[in-house]
Amino acid sequence: MQERKYKFGTKAIHAGVEPDPATGAIMTPIYQTSTYVQEKVGQHKGYGYSRTLNPTRHALEKAIAELENAKYGACFGSGVAAIDALLKMLNPGDEVITTDDLYGGSYRIFTGVYAKYGIKFHFVSMNDLKNLSQTINKNTKLIWIETPTNPMMNIIDIEAVAKIAKKANIMLGVDNTFATPYLQSPMDLGADLVMHSATKYLGGHSDVVMGALVMNDQSIADEIYRIQNSSGGITGPMDSFLVLRGLKTLHLRMQRHCENGEKIARFLKGHPKVDKVYWPGFEDHPSHAIAKQQMRGFGGMISFSVKGNDLKEAHSIMERFKVFSLAESLGGVESLTCHPATMTHAAIPAKERQKVGIVDSLIRLSVGVEDAEDLINDLKQALV
Ligand SMILES: *Cc1c(COP(=O)(O)O)cnc(C)c1O
């Protein structure tokens, strides 16, 4: 299935998997095994020990790589474990430039874990790429971006960042969790690595925690596989099976996430209680033109602030929801709501938060695939 001639929906269903060679089972079995019997000393069928490689995980790694138009894939026990593996490619003294509006857990591993090993992190706004160019120096080894950003839905021009990175010989990693490969293909725009929290849209059913990295360059892949095997932050066969199953409907789910997202964004924009609505599909979103160019749809993630910017009011609106569930995470079939300032982004100091727009009344929605009318009615009764 490597051939690009297949379109996304076909790849989502067939990539990485083939009938089980032992039985013909059409679904990849859950190879719940730690080890593999060797025919002779050192002679096996490609699988020696399940930390190194497991057939269920292997099928998933190939599938995610193909969906991202990449050659190599590696899956980990969580999204942050995937980021952890990537950061282990760096050495003390190396510097990383990333966005100032970033998933809270990424900020936490950067500042709370790797900073003490002598890696320096710069957080800059990439709405203006001059900030990026000005921060690059001879120690810069990695540029790390998310687009759309979480939770402010800023859009970063991946192709423009890739050009800057290539010129300076810096590795570019893109967290593609929000957009998914259905809506955005960072490898085609010049990224060296794409990362996913497969916990979100790839798994799609809020039943698994997992991360993934994909890449094209063999030397990067060799290093990632060496780290995956050496540090051992792998994902198990059962979870691999669940995400393989999730991938088969990724295109169908994303179509509905996009449709529902648009209806809800437009409803919120016209609501008298709502102050600002952050969704890249609006013509007046500051980076709408870039979003249109690099994305094939605008997704189901929306943030909005409430007039008056009162924390208590935001909390009580969220507690009135009946269909939207109050929970961390995103990207599942069910609609979720979260309060970034006190939940996902609580790890970021208040001053930093306010600077990027994460005000006290900001509410984030992960719009699910329920009926849009029910979701809008839920918002109507909560926003009183
Ligand atoms: C959830 C998330 C992560 C971290 O993934 P986990 O699977 O929770 O470890 C990283 N980036 C983004 C954008 C996320 O939403």
Low-confidence ranges of the chain (pLDDT < 50): none
Report which protein residue has its CA nearest ligand 1's atom 8.
Answer: 79
Q: How many CB atoms within 10 Å of residue 106?
A: 22
Q: Tell me what pLDDT residue 30 has.
A: 98
Return all residues near 56 (Cβ < 8 A) that are at least 6 apart.
28, 29, 30, 31, 237, 240, 241, 244
Residues in contact with 344: Cβ distance below 8 Å, sequence separation at least 6, in sequence order: 103, 104, 150, 151, 328, 338, 364
Cβ 261 vs Cβ 298: under 8 Å: yes
Closest ligand 1 atom to residue 178 Cα is 13
Catalytic residue among 11, 57, 200, 256: 200
- What is the pLDDT, as a whole number, of residue 345? 82
40 is catalytic: no
Is 51 part of the annotated catalytic residue set?
yes
Is residue 200 among the annotated active site residues? yes
User: What's the confidence (pLDDT) of residue 2?
Assistant: 52
d(CA 279, CA 276): 10
Beta strand 336-338 pairing with 325-326? parallel
Ligand 1 center to residue 201 CA distance, Å?
11
Rounded to whole angstroms, the Cα distance separating 316 from 62 reads: 44
Indicate left, alpha or beta for 29 from its phi (over 0: left) and psi (-120 to 50: alpha).
Answer: beta
